[in-house]
Amino acid sequence: MSVVIACLSQKGGVGKSTLARLIAWTYASAEWQVKICDFNTKQLTSVDWVAQRMAAGHKPEIAAEPYSSVKGFRKEQFDLLVVDGRPDSDNSSLEIARVADLCVLPTGLAIDDLKPQVMFANELRSKGIPRERILLVLNKITESAIAVTEARGYLRSAGYAVAETDLAAKTGYQMAQNAGRAIAETNFTSLNERADELAAEIVNRVNELPRIAA
């Protein structure tokens, strides 16, 4: 049975696909067979990214395919399925969350990002998703330590775990993804190390949780 990690969001533009690619690359680098299940069938950002990656010959190889239902991807024979969900709270997001070993919810620092993601997490909780299977990640942060601390406090006061490692809005991350690489494959050691630290947190959290029953 595949491990399932879902990157979900109430809104677009908070880094859902960025995290899905990082997670996929991290496990693939450890020689896992990995596939990204792209539920954003209108944009297909992860499918296009994988196609670009393959065309450029980047290793390790990662598979990707568009999906519109959970039944489709649950039949896949991969070590890890990374779900890049739709950028809204629809029925597919709940179905995905119910089979996911971990739901990763990225958010920016602004209340316009924080509040919708907390509301989304609350919605998942109300539908039976255990709190421990939800992890918030601060993404595209600014240099303001105060803003980061306040955002982290807002999420924790709502009762949710927040990754200790956050990601800054860096051109290097954008350039890497534009070239079909993950954010741990930039030309800058410090950026790669930061991305690796976040990925390690996510991997450790998955390992600490009991597996979802088939």
The string of DSSP letters for 115-174 reads HHHHHHHHHHHHTT--GGGEEEEE-SB-S-HHHHHHHHHHHHHTT-EE-S---B--HHHH
Chain segment 85-108, per-residue pLDDT in tens: 988 756 789 999 999 999 999 999
pLDDT score, position 214: 57
Q: What span, in angstroms and rounded, lies between the C-alpha atoms of 100 and 102?
A: 5
pLDDT score, position 89: 57
Closest CA to 61 of 30, 28, 38: 28
Confidence of residue 13 (pLDDT cuts 50, 70, 90): confident
Instruction: Examine the pLDDT at 64 and tell me if it is beyond 60.
Output: yes
Chain segment 127-173, per-residue pLDDT in tens: 999 999 999 999 999 888 999 999 999 999 999 999 999 999 999 99
- pTM: predicted TM-score of the whole model, two decimal places: 0.96
Chain segment 173-190, per-residue pLDDT in tens: 999 999 999 999 999 999
Q: What domains appear along the chain, each with residue ranges and CATH number?
A: 3-208 (3.40.50.300)
Tokens 């803003």 correspond to what residue? 147
Q: What span, in angstroms and rounded, lies between the C-alpha atoms of 38 and 44?
A: 6
Instruction: Examine the pLDDT at 69 and tell me if it is beyond 90.
Output: no
Confidence of residue 73 (pLDDT cuts 50, 70, 90): confident
